[in-house]
Structure formats: C-alpha cells, structure tokens
Structure 1
C-alpha cells in the first residue's frame, strides 16, 4: 500500500500529509529504492507522452526541428509560443484545427487565458494542453494514409502501434486501456515500468527515435510544459535530466547515467509532486544545489508571506 511521503507544515505544525508510491532504479536497472505500490499498474497520463512520440517517429512523423518534436510531446500551457508551434505543424501538413479531436479549451496559463477572455476569445482545440500531440498524430496518419477522423479509436492503427510500443516495456500488450483527458487511449504501466521507460529514453543510441525525444525534452523544458510548471522548473536545475509530469500526481524522469525515478501521489495533488521529485533526485545523486533545495521545499503562505513548507517527509529516503 501507499505510504506517507510528503508533508505540509504550517507554522511548525504538520497540517497535512500526502500518501504515495515511488521507485528509483539505478544505472544498472536494478531497484535502488521502492516505497508503496511500485508494481501495481497506474495510468501515467502525460508521463506516457514521450513514448507516444517515439511511436510517431517510428511511423513516419518527421518534425522539422527539436521545438516541433517538443510540442508533440508537450502538456503545454497554451501560451503563444506553444500555440504558434501547433498551428505551424498543422499548416505544414495541410491540416485544419477542426480536425483535432482534443476538446476545445482555454489556455491553462492564467495570463494567457485572461488575455484571451479579455479579447472575447472562445475555447479552441489548439489551446488544449495536448493539442501538439494530436497535431503530430494527424501528421503521422497522413504519412501512412491512415484515417484521420478516427485516430482516437483504440482500434486505429496508430493507437495499436502506441499500445505495442508501451507493451514492449511492460510486457503486457493486452493491458486494459483507459481514456485520457484529451480523449486518447491511455496505456497503464507500473511505476517500475514507467521509470524503466525513462531510463531507456536517456540511454538510447544516438540518432534513435528514443534519443531524439529525450534530447528535445531536455533542450526545451518550457515548450513541453509552460511558465512555472514542474518540468520547466526542475530540468534546468538538474543537468541532463529528462522528465515528464502527468496528471493526478504522476512524475517520472531519468538522469544521463540511466538512473530513473517514477512517483504517484495517491490523492493526485500536484503540490506534492515537485518536492518529492527533488528529494528522489537528491537520493539518486543529483547535486544538492540551492536551486534544487528550493524546489524540494515549496512555500506555504500566510498573509502573503512564507510560514511553512511542502516537503518530502524527512527520513523517508
């Protein structure tokens, strides 16, 4: 079962705890740390995106830049840089926004959303945080002469390829699929298999699809997330890290030596994700810099000033 991993301390008083599970794999692939339910399948949500993108590259998706590859892997905030890349990807392939099957939405970024609302804009599919992935999937369908209208369906050739890719990691090609927030099928993985998937990304051969995705994520943490988001904050302070956050408290990443982590916060609260990831990375040998220490201790405010912290429970790792 899950265990208490993260605490919220206000004015010296433990106000709240978050339970969860986490695993660290060493460079040799062996389990170095395992707490909670690390062998039970979960929905990794957007932490699966790097391997969805690997599948696209294996099936004819041909991005023109690392930025385009990053937006195909992104859970973006709908900021102008994100939206422009998605629109350019659609335009380059002769696709229209109304061919995207992700829901219409407003940007997740508060400033971008406020600006659009002030201008009288309505929700659009291109603003949805998974629109880059959907645009890249449409481009891949074009490359293979696969149907465009039905690319969300689990029986579509593209989704069968995604299941095969992720099944090769878990060993379960018959896993029961769910439906992600953007409408696409979601393949379950255990935390151990999720960590192993990230280790395979960073240790892949140069010029392989896996390495291309890893490099794009590492080079463009803002594009795969957005202003103030976990990936955009964590990767720049841990050299060589490749990470990808997922909804409902999921996070996974790997260092260049192949050591990797994956975590799941049981109640799905995002505030527990970053401090726990920082603590895991420190346990993996990442240098305990001032910047990493700051991410490991997120502020609790009272009256607009810091009065406490959100942190991994001392001694757990």
Structure 2
C-alpha cells in the first residue's frame, strides 16, 4: 500500500509567479497558523493531511539527542538542528562535536558532499592545490547539510553506550527516542516513517502537528519562571531544559541554522522568529510567544514558502505581541525580510550589465482572499 500526502484537488493556491504581467507558474499547497494555545487561526488546503516533515523536524531530533545525554551547548546545540551550508564555522563546530564524543568524520553515515558555501569551497580548493593534492574539490560527510544532526545522534549513542555503527536504524535507541519526542511534542503519532535524504528516519505528520510541535519547542525554550505551569502540561514539557538550550543557541547565533544571509538565518536574525525549512517545499516558523505556521508546497519547491509563512504569521497578528525587532519596526520590517529572502523574477540585462527585474513572486488567490478579509 502506498501512503500519500494531500492531492491537488485538496490544495489551495499559495503563490504565483508573475513575469511581464503574465502568470507563468502557480504554487499550490497547504498551510496552517496556530495561536499559542495550539488553536488554528488560519487554515488553507489540507493542513491535517500527512506530509513528510523532512528537515523542519530537526529541532525535535536535537532535543531527543540532548535528552539522552549528548552534551550540546551554544553553536553545537544549534548545529544539531541545522541544515547548514558548510561555511567554515559550521564545519568547525561539527568537528568539535565529534571530537567531544570521542568520534571522527568516518563515523558519520550521512552522504558525502562538496561544501555548499562558495568561499569555503574555494578555500579548500586552494589549500589542496598548494599542498599538491590531486583531489582539488574534496567531498566529505562533514560538508553534508545534516552533519550536525548526525554528530548529535552519534554523541547521544555514545552517551548511552549504544552501538554507534547502527545509529540510523529505526530500531536504534536514539531513533526510538526521537520517535517518542516527536509524538510528545506533536500530540500525534506519525502516520508513516520513511528514510530522509541524509539516511535518517523521517516522520510523516500533519502540518498542524508540525506547527504544534515546533511552536511548543520555541515557546517552552523561551518561557520564564513567571509563566503559569498549567500552560506546560503534557509529556513535551519534560524537555524544557533541552528546549531552552536549543532555543537560546539558535537565537544567539542565527547563522548556525543555515548560514550568513541565508533565508532561515535571516528570518531568525532580523525578526527574532525561528524558521526551519525542509526539502520538498516544507517550512515551519515559530515565535517566542508561541505562534507557529507550517507550510507545504505540493510541487516540492521552496520558492514561495518564506513569503507564505511570514505573510500568514503577520496576518494572524503574531508580530503584534512579539518582543524584539519585528514588533519594533512592524510591517515594514517583515516586508523587508520577505523581500530579502524572495528571489526576483529576472530577464536579461540593461545597458550597464545589471540584471533586469521583470516580475515577482506574489501571493496566490486563496491567500490574497484571506488578506482582503483581514483588511475589511
């Protein structure tokens, strides 16, 4: 039997691509915004249908690793939840995570990759040429975007005395703990378990469950001693220490979660809002006060996910109560971040060699209708 996510018939139009006044592409999908109590404020498409959460679920995998004894603090905690672009700083932190656990690069079972960061890749190439190394374009599992998560898994396995050579097996104690943490925070059992691009188990949840889970992580990690303990009821509340360590690490060093100037890191840095994208058009964002949004583009493209997620959070009033940069500057700040993380539609160059902008990514009809109702 083949399980499936929602169908095009169930989807909503999330965004369109306009080129020279002509709509040439449409992104359909589903989305949901939850308030701090977990109640839906905005729903589009089929937010209760299952989707593979991909890397958007990494905060829960990091929490599971820390709960088993992986000693992760600061940038190391953030790298456990990152999809990094292998900047020099990312690589240095992952190497230190492995070293602290008494492990090394060959213990990583994620695929090998070239560094995605151009500057670091050129640095490695130049070093190889200087040393007379024939391999002037090295690949390594260290440079794979999930290497921080894998290092955290290994550290957890070492902490509990489990086999480090089978840490990706769904039956391994580390992955069993991940499954437990996912169910606790999402308040739903995964409807399917598959194999992610990095080789680790990946869980299918509803977008509502994904938003609920990550919203709880960020709110739990941002709470203080004055908060009513009745708001922390549930098995997920037992992970407050791990959630706090992770949340503080990410907001202290936004570059860790993706990279300097990259979309997720920009949202965290400029708006004080947690953002974590995943493959195949998935993204989740959450504010410190507990608002959360999850989006899935059915075509698997991430082009529109940031625009859709931030717009829906804005319309839900999430930034009206959020302390920090977003509330200080309001709509202009959010719009500026959307512009910064959204690629323009281009065509040719002008007489001075500058790229012409001939269109843009716009909100789809189903979302635009919500905006009109909000304004009314």
TM-score (structure 2 length as normaliser):
0.79
Query: What does 1:61-72 align with in structure 2 at a 5 Å threshold?
Result: 61-63=70-72, 65-72=73-80
Match of 1:5 among 3, 14, 29: 14
How far, CA to CA, are the matches of 1:72 and 1:126 in structure 2? Answer: 13
Cα distance in 2 for residues equivalent to 1:220 and 1:176: 33
For these two proteins, the number of residue pairs brought into alignment is: 315
**Residue aligning to 1:255:** 287
Matched residue SS, 1:42: strand
Cross-structure match for 1:141: 157
Structure 2 CA distance, aligned partners of 1:297 and 1:77?
Answer: 18
**1:114, distance to aligned residue in structure 2 (A):** 4.6
In structure 2, the residue matched to 1:45 is 54
Give the aligned partner of residue 99 of structure 1.
107
In structure 2, C-alpha distance between the alignment counterparts of 1:43 and 1:72, rounded to whole Å: 19
Task: Give the aligned partner of residue 230 of structure 2.
Answer: none
What's the Cα RMSD here?
1.8
Cα distance in 1 for partners of 2:16, 2:262 equals: 20
Aligned pairs for 1:107-186 (under 5 A) are 107-117=115-125, 119=128, 120-173=136-189, 175-186=191-202
The answer to whether the 8 A contact 1:275-1:295 is kept is: no
CA 1:179/1:293 → structure 2, altered by over 3 Å: closer, same or farther? closer
Q: 1:289 aligns with which of 332, 335, 353?
A: 332
Q: Does 1:234 align with 2:260?
A: no
Deviation at 1:70, TM superposition (A): 0.8
1:78 pairs, out of 86, 105, 120, with: 86
Higher helix share: 2
Output aligned runs, 1:195-214, within 5 Å: 195-204=211-220, 205=223, 208-214=241-247
Is this contact kept in 2: 1:77–1:227, CA < 8 A?
Answer: no
**Structure 1: any 5+ residue segments left out of the alignment?**
none
- Mean CA deviation greater in 134-143 or 222-231: 222-231
Structure 2 Cα separation of the partners of residues 172 and 293 of structure 1:
32
Note if 1:300 corresponds to 2:309: no
After alignment, is 109-118 or 185-194 more displaced?
109-118
Deviations 1:235-261 (A, max 9, x none): 22213x112111111110111221110
* The one of 57, 61, 64 aligned to 1:55: 64
SS for the counterpart of 2:192 is coil
Using the alignment, how far apart are the partners of 2:77 and 2:190 within structure 1?
28
| C-alpha distance in 1 between matches for 2:342 and 2:166 | 45
Residue aligning to 2:254: 221
- TM-score for both structures, normalised by structure 1: 0.93
Q: 1:88 is matched with which residue?
A: 96
**How far apart in 2 are the matches of 1:265 and 1:176?**
19
